[in-house]
Chains A and B, each alone.
Chain A
Amino acid sequence: MIGIFFWLFAALLTVSGLLAITRRNAVSAALWAAVSFIAIAGIFVLLQAYFLAVVEVLVYAGAIMVLFLFVIMLLNLREEDLQVLEGPRLHILGVLLAAGFLGGLVWTCRRAGLYDAKNGAIKMTAESVGETKSLAAPLFMEYVLPFEIASFLLLAAIVGAVLITKKRLT
Chain B
Amino acid sequence: MAFLAWVTLLAPLIAAITLLVRPRLRGSSGGPKLAIFSVFICAATSLVFWLFRSETVTTSFEWMTVGDLTISIGLLVDNLSTLMLLVVGLVGSAIFVFARGYMKGDPSIGRFYAKFALFVFSMLGIVLADNFLMMFIFWELVGASSYLLIGYYFEKPSACDAAKKAFLTNRVADFGFLLGILMIWSLTGSFEFAKIADAVKDGDVSGPQWQLTLAGILIFVGAMGKSAQVPFHVWLPDAMEGPTPVSALMHAATMVAAGVFMIIRAFSCFDLGVGATALGGASMFIATTGGVTAFLAATIALVQRDIKKVLAYSTLSQLGYMVMALGAGAYSIAMFHLTTHAFFKGLLFLCAGSVIHGCHHEQDMFKMGGLRKKMPATFWCFTIGMFALMGLAPLAGFFSKDLIIDSLHQKHLVGLQIGATVTAALTALYMTRAWLLTFFGEYRGHATPHESPPVMTRPLKFLAFVSAVIGLVFYYGHGQDYLSAWHGKFAGPLHMDPTIAVVSTVAGVVGFLIALALYKKSHRGGEKIVARFPRLHSLLVEKYYIDDSYHWLVQNVQQVIARGCRWFEEAIVVGVLVGWPVGVTRWTGDRLRRMQSGRLAFYASCFVGGVTILILFLYTVAH
Chain A contact residues, CB within 8 Å of chain B: 89, 91, 93-94, 97-98, 100-101, 104, 107
Contact between chains at B619 and A97 (CB < 8 Å): no
- Provide the residues of chain A in CB contact with B601, threshold 8 Å: 89
Chain B interface residues toward A at CB < 8 A? 601, 605, 608-609, 611-612, 615-616, 619
Name the one of A89, A93, A101 contacting B611, with C-beta atoms under 8 angstroms: A101
* Chain A residues near B608 (CB-CB < 8 A): 94, 97-98, 101
A-B contact pairs, 6 of them (CB 8 A): A94-B605, A98-B612, A100-B612, A101-B611, A104-B619, A107-B619
Which residues from B are CB-within-8-Å of A91? Answer: 605
In the bound complex, what is the Cα–Cα distance between A98 and B616 (angstroms)?
Answer: 12
Contacts of A98 in B (CB 8 A): 608, 612
A14 vs B86: C-alpha distance in the bound complex, in angstroms? 83
| Assembly CA distance A85 to B208 (angstroms) | 63
- Provide the bound-state CA to CA distance between A42 and B445, in Å: 98
Give Cα distance in the complex from A100 to B608, angstroms.
Answer: 10
> Is the beta-carbon distance between A100 and B616 smaller than 8 angstroms?
yes
Task: Collect the chain B residues with CB atoms within 8 Å of residue A89's CB.
Answer: 601
**How far is it, in angstroms, between the C-alpha of A89 and the C-alpha of B604 when the chains are bound?**
14
| CB proximity of B562 to chain A, nearest CB, Å | 53
Q: How far is the CA of A91 from the CA of B611 in the complex (A)?
A: 17
Neighbouring A residues of B615 by C-beta, 8 Å: 100-101, 104
State A81–B327 Cα separation when bound (angstroms).
Answer: 75
CB distance from A92 to the nearest CB of B (A): 12
Shortest beta-carbon distance, B277 to chain A, in Å? 52
| Residues of chain B with a CB closer than 8 A to A97's CB | 605, 608-609, 612
Q: What is the CA–CA distance of A79 and B615 in the complex, to the nearest angstrom?
A: 42
Closest A residue by C-beta to B604: A94
The smallest C-beta distance from B609 to any residue of chain A, in angstroms, reads 5
Nearest A residue to B601 by beta-carbon distance? A89
Which chain B residues lie closer than 8 Å to A93 at the CB level?
605, 609
Residue among A89, A94, A107 with most chain B CB within 10 A: A94
List the B side residues contacting A104 at CB < 8 Å: 612, 615-616, 619
Q: When chains A and B are docked, how far (Å) is the Cα of A100 from the Cα of B614? A: 11
Q: Compute how far the CA of A104 lies from the CA of B601 in the bound complex, rounded to whole angstroms.
A: 23
Minimal beta-carbon separation of A88 from chain B (angstroms): 10
| Residues on A with beta carbons closer than 8 Å to the beta carbon of B611 | 101
In angstroms, Cα B616 to Cα A100, docked, is 8
Q: How far is the CB of B15 from chain A (nearest CB, A)?
A: 56
Instruction: State A89–B600 Cα separation when bound (angstroms).
Output: 13
Cα–Cα, bound, A168→B107 (Å): 56
Q: Which residue of B lies closest to A96 (CB)?
A: B612
* In the bound complex, CA of A89 to CA of B601 (Å): 10
> Which of A89, A93, A104 is packed against the most chain B CB atoms within 10 Å?
A104
B618 shortest CB reach to chain A, Å: 9
Complex Cα spacing A40 to B401, Å: 87
Which residues from A are CB-within-8-Å of B619?
104, 107
Report the separation of the CA atoms of residues A89 and B615 in the bound assembly, to the nearest whole angstrom: 25
CB of B605 within 8 A of CB of A101, answer: no
- State the CA gap A107–B619 with chains docked (Å): 9
How many angstroms between the C-alpha atoms of A93 and B608 in the bound complex?
A: 11
Taking CB as reference atom, which chain B residue is nearest A102? B612
Question: Closest residue to A99 on the B side, CB-wise?
Answer: B612
The distance from the CB of B501 to the nearest CB of chain A, in whole angstroms, is 72
CA distance A139 to B609 in the complex (A): 37
Q: Which residue of B lies closest to A101 (CB)?
A: B612
- Cα-based distance from A107 to B623 in the complex (angstroms): 14
> Can you name the residue of chain B whose Cβ is closest to the Cβ of A88?
B601
Taking CB atoms, residues of chain A closer than 8 Å to B609 are 93, 97
- Cα-based distance from A100 to B612 in the complex (angstroms): 6
Measured CA separation A143–B608 after assembly (Å): 32
Closest CB in chain A relative to B547 CB, distance in Å: 71
Distance (Å) between the CB of A148 and the closest chain B CB? 31
Distance in angstroms from A99 CB to nearest chain B CB is: 9
Docked CA distance A94–B612 (Å): 11
Residues of A within 8 A of B616 (CB): 100, 104
Residue of chain B at shortest CB distance from A104: B615
Report the bound CA distance from A97 to B611 in whole Å. Answer: 9
CB distance from B280 to the nearest CB of A (A): 46
CA of A98 to CA of B608, assembled, Å: 7
The residue in chain A whose Cβ has the minimal distance to the Cβ of B610 is A97
- Per the bound structure, the CA–CA distance linking A93 and B605 in Å amounts to 9
Smallest CB gap from B608: residue in A = A97
* 7 A-B pairs with least C-beta separation: A104-B615, A100-B612, A97-B612, A101-B612, A97-B609, A97-B608, A94-B605
Q: Name the A residues within 8 Å of B612 (CB-CB).
A: 97-98, 100-101, 104
Give the nearest-CB partner of B611 in chain A.
Answer: A101
Chain A residue nearest to B607 in the complex (CB): A97
A153 to chain B, nearest CB (A): 23
Closest CB in chain B relative to A111 CB, distance in Å: 9
Q: How far is the CA of A104 from the CA of B614 in the complex (A)?
A: 10
* Chain B residues positioned under 8 Å from A94 (CB to CB): 605, 608
- Give bound CA distance, A107 to B601, whole Å: 27
Rounded to whole angstroms, the CA-CA distance of A97 and B609 in the bound complex is: 6
Question: 19 extra interchain contacts, Cβ-Cβ under 8 A, other than A89-B601, A104-B619?
Answer: A91-B605, A93-B605, A93-B609, A94-B605, A94-B608, A97-B605, A97-B608, A97-B612, A98-B608, A100-B612, A100-B615, A100-B616, A101-B608, A101-B611, A101-B615, A104-B612, A104-B615, A104-B616, A107-B619
Q: How far is the CA of A124 from the CA of B609 in the complex (A)?
A: 38
CB distance from B615 to the nearest CB of A (A): 4
- Minimum Cβ distance to chain A for residue B565 (Å): 50
How far, in angstroms, from A93 to B609 measured CA to CA in the complex? 9
User: Within 8 Å CB of B605, what residues of A?
Assistant: 91, 93-94, 97
Contacts of A107 in B (CB 8 A): 619
Tell me the bound Cα distance from A94 to B604 in angstroms: 10
Q: Provide the bound-state CA to CA distance between A89 and B602, in Å.
A: 11
Q: CA separation between A64 and B409, bound complex, in Å?
A: 87
Closest-CB distance, A24 to chain B (whole angstroms): 16
Return the chain B residue nearest A111 by Cβ: B619
A40 to B609, CA, bound (A): 27
Quick one: closest B residue to A100, CB to CB? Answer: B612
